[in-house]
């Protein structure tokens, strides 16, 4: 079992659930912190490779390109599922409030300061009272949030039912409830935002972990998506030349600072992790770091010698990352985004073009896009004096770009790279694209801005998978390669990102996550004792700032000879969940688990690293979500949890799965793409190696077979609150009389302490070794226990 806030891995019978606010996401994950959900069911069969589109740590191309080492976003699975430490975020949001039969759930045991601190939530007192007054006890697992999530499913002690609008005692209360859902979520109380006269936006967040260090990230809102046909890879080239050619960055060597850079579809980021001061430095290192970022982003020297050096490095890099994983990922993105430039603007670029560019060509692209109004500076770390840091920013960056002002349209009012996906692509950059009238107006309204950033990031138009938009269905695409060993198919659905800014938005997120949590548990329990036709089934629903959309993906992996049955089973189970929804017990268990995870994160608010906070803020801003701290996130979740109903959970969750469960129906959302990645050769017992043959029509037939199979509703499971009572445990203790024996027979000591690791080693009288370590990472009064063959909290 692997811990991940957003990835739900299921190897034991009872699967884990995490609903974290994404503060512990791996630093280069590009999914939104709160709002992603990924569920995987894996059989015991090994698979050689499984792509993970747009997830995990900083990946190799076509995800962000780094000037330094580039990690992968794929996990190779041989006999074990590789751990994926991230939060993500990865659950989305939509739909309106439905006033129907309501089942409310109590959140009293999660004591929240939300309704006490009015400074972060501006509602009249009587409205707050309503939101907190009608609550019932939620059953909760006696073990921790990872497993087995054993919660009572009996309605009398758990969730209570009311008919119609009886629970809302009057029309006034109903309106108050709807008004409550429309109120904005509280913003992070310590996050300081500002903007210089030249358009540079900055965010500052004090954070003590690690102490005496800070993160400074310069995000320039330009990436491979902004390249013209003859510039493919030029943004990555500039990243290399600007970053590695900076003399001021080199002066930081020896101070304890670390630096790097990466390029993605939608942005280029230069970042420095530095101590706040050193013994050898005369004072604050913040202005020194900012000065280096200013030179890197806005004042690079495009020397011919540096260009040639980085050209060779990039061409070598291109050869190193040309793996089967990269090729598969390219195929998935090309078909998912076939209607726009995302399908053909991978950050690494094209070899034949990279070989041709001279310094002048590169400089012109830089002049077009690298200016303060098209950038955002993030500073997170052990910063005590906000005003002093602001003064440093103004002193270093204040005059950048002001010396060559060129009038342009006003910068969009929304902060950050917000994705307003229903607006056409806007012209960007040179003023020649504007009419004389517009140019004349912009001179008066925006004299301090050289150029404007895109109002939409990334600046592309998508063909959305919306209900009723079904046209002639595209046949599945097949990518066949001799390096592939197993069968894998991805069904994609693509919709606009729904920004999470209100309590109603957060409520929709919560209900969707509860609904989707059931799938992996069901498949795992139903097929665990049989010989399943799949090696893994994964349902991913997540926002992507880099792609500017929300993507739902059903991924099925199987051995080549079992591919048809694997698709059939996956479609059948998705259809069962969509048609019948979650049960009362599932609602109770998964809501309880999500709240527990949120509660634990809130308790660890002072242990979140600066880089995790920074990445979360950056991605949230890119998607347009409200940025909250961990405690606010938990309080807000508690505030809406008591209003969740079974009917609404099943209604909002069903919408996510319609592109699969209603495949082929005119009223259903059409899949954005269906892509199968298959081997060219397979080994068949008794025959040997033979060609693997598959046609798109056969894939459609397998999907339709899963749609036609008879299904029944999921039976309600009564899971006990505890596996053993306190009385039984005490009786066993008295009977067995456990004790510690010497760990080291020579020294006769029953306790050995390792100073390097802080681990204490002991041994029980039955011979079982016990190792433990005390730290302050986990929530107070919580004990985390690992046992061979399983894990408990």
Helix (H), strand (E) at residue 508: helix 503-527
Beta bridge partners of 555: 490, 538
The Cα–Cα gap between 768 and 787 comes to 11
Residue 197's nearest CA partner among 401, 37, 366 is 401
The Cα–Cα gap between 566 and 571 comes to 9
The Cα–Cα gap between 793 and 148 comes to 9
Helix (H), strand (E) at residue 679: strand 673-679
Cβ–Cβ < 8 Å for 546, 54: yes
The Cα–Cα gap between 140 and 682 comes to 48
H helix and E strand count, the chain: 19, 24
Q: Is the peptide bond before 377 cis (omega within 30 degrees of 0)?
A: no
**CA distances to 9, 326, 535 from 319, in Å:** 33, 11, 31
Beta bridge partners of 272: 216, 259
Beta bridge partners of 377: 202, 218
Q: Nearest 5°: CA angle at 30, between 28 and 34?
A: 110
Cβ–Cβ < 8 Å for 108, 101: no
Residue 77: phi and psi, rounded to 5, are: -115, 120
Residue 590's nearest CA partner among 145, 106, 108, 38 is 145
Residue of 25, 176, 219, 310 with catalytic role: 310
Helix (H), strand (E) at residue 753: strand 752-754
- Catalytic residue status for 559: no
Q: Which residue is it, tokens 């998978």?
A: 465
Longest dimension (CA), the chain: 92
Residue of 176, 239, 573, 619 with catalytic role: 239
Q: Which residue is it, tokens 């195929």?
A: 331
**Taking the CA atoms of the chain, what radius of gyration do you get in angstroms?**
27
Beta bridge partners of 489: 556, 676
Which two three-digit tokens encode residue 342?
């995302």
> Which spans in 528-629 are helix H?
563-580, 584-603, 610-623
Beta bridge partners of 543: 550
Cβ–Cβ < 8 Å for 417, 545: yes
Q: Is the peptide bond before 634 cis (omega within 30 degrees of 0)?
A: no
Within 10 Å of residue 305's Cβ, how many Cβ atoms? 9
Which two three-digit tokens encode residue 488?
């894998």
- Catalytic residue status for 619: no
The Cα–Cα gap between 294 and 292 comes to 5
Which two three-digit tokens encode residue 599?
């509660």
Query: What residues act catalytically?
Result: 239, 310
């Amino acid at each position: 079992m692997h811990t991940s806030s957003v990835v739900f891995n299921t190897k034991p019978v009872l699967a884990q659930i995490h609903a974290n606010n994404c503060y512990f996401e791996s630093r280069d994950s590009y999914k939104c912190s709160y709002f992603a959900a990924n569920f995987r069911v894996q059989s015991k069969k090994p698979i050689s490779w499984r792509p993970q589109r747009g997830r995990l740590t900083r990946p190799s191309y076509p995800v962000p390109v780094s000037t330094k080492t580039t990690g992968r976003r794929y996990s190779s699975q041989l006999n074990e599922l590789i751990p994926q430490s991230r939060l993500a975020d990865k659950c989305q949001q939509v739909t309106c409030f439905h006033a129907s039969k309501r089942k409310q759930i109590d959140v009293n045991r999660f004591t929240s300061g939300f309704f006490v601190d009015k400074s972060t939530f501006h509602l009249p007192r009587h409205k707050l009272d309503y939101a907190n007054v009608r609550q019932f006890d939620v059953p909760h697992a006696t073990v921790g949030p990872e497993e087995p999530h054993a919660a009572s499913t009996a309605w009398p002690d758990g969730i209570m039912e009311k008919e119609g609008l009886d629970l809302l005692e009057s029309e006034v209360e109903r309106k108050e409830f709807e008004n409550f859902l429309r109120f904005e979520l509280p913003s992070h109380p310590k996050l300081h935002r500002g903007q210089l006269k030249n358009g540079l936006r900055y965010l500052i967040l004090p954070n003590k972990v690690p102490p005496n260090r800070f993160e400074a990230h310069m995000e320039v809102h330009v990436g491979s998506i902004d390249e013209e046909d003859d510039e493919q890879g030029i943004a990555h080239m500039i990243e290399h030349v600007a970053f590695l050619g900076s003399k001021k960055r080199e002066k930081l060597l020896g101070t304890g600072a670390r630096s790097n850079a990466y390029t993605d579809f939608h942005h280029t980021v230069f970042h420095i992790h530095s101590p706040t001061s050193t013994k050898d430095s005369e004072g604050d290192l913040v202005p020194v770091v900012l000065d280096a970022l200013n030179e890197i982003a806005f004042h690079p020297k495009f020397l011919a010698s540096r260009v040639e050096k980085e050209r060779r490095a990039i061409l070598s890099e291109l050869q190193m990352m040309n793996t089967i994983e990269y090729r598969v990922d390219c195929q998935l993105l090309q078909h998912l985004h076939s209607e726009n430039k995302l399908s053909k603007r991978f950050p690494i670029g094209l070899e034949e073009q990279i070989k041709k560019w001279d310094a002048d060509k590169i400089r012109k692209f830089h002049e077009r896009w690298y200016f303060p109004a098209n950038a955002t500076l993030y500073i997170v770390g052990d910063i005590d004096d906000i005003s002093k840091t602001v003064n440093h920013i103004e002193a270093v960056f204040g005059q950048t770009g002001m010396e060559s002002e060129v009038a342009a349209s006003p910068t969009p009012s929304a902060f950050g790279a917000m994705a307003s996906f229903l607006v056409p692509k806007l012209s960007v950059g040179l003023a020649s694209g504007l009419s004389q009238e517009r140019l004349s107006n912009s001179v008066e309204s925006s004299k301090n801005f050289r150029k404007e950033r895109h109002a939409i990031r990334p600046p592309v138009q998508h063909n959305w998978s919306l209900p009723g938009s079904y046209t002639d269905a595209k046949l599945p695409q097949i990518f066949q390669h001799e390096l592939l060993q197993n069968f894998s198919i991805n069904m994609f659905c693509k919709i606009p990102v729904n920004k999470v800014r209100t309590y109603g938005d957060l409520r929709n997120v919560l209900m969707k996550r509860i609904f989707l949590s059931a799938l992996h548990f069901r498949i795992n329990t139903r097929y665990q004792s049989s010989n399943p036709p799949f090696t893994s089934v994964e349902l991913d629903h997540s926002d992507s700032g880099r792609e500017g959309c929300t993507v739902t993906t059903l991924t099925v992996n199987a051995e080549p000879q079992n591919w048809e049955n694997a698709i059939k089973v996956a479609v059948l189970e998705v259809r069962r969940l969509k048609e019948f929804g979650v049960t009362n017990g599932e609602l109770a268990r998964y809501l309880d688990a999500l709240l527990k995870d949120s509660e634990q994160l809130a308790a660890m608010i002072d242990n979140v690293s600066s880089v995790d906070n920074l990445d979360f803020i950056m991605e949230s801003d890119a998607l347009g979500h409200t940025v909250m701290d961990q405690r606010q996130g938990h309080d807000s979740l508690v505030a809406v949890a008591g209003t969740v109903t079974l009917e609404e959970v099943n209604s909002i969750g069903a919408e996510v799965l319609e592109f699969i469960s209603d495949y082929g129906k005119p009223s259903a959302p059409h899949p954005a793409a269906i892509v199968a990645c298959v081997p060219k050769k397979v080994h068949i017992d008794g025959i040997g190696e033979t060609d693997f043959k598959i046609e798109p029509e056969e894939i459609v037939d397998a999907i339709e077979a899963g749609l036609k199979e008879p299904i029944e509703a999921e039976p309600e499971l009564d899971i006990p609150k505890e596996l053993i009572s306190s009385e039984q445990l005490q009786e066993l203790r008295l009977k067995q009389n456990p004790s510690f024996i010497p760990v080291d027979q020579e020294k006769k000591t029953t306790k050995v302490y390792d100073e390097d690791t802080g681990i204490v080693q002991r041994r029980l009288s039955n011979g079982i070794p016990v190792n433990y370590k005390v730290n302050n990472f986990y929530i107070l009064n919580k004990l985390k226990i690992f046992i061979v063959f399983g894990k408990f909290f």
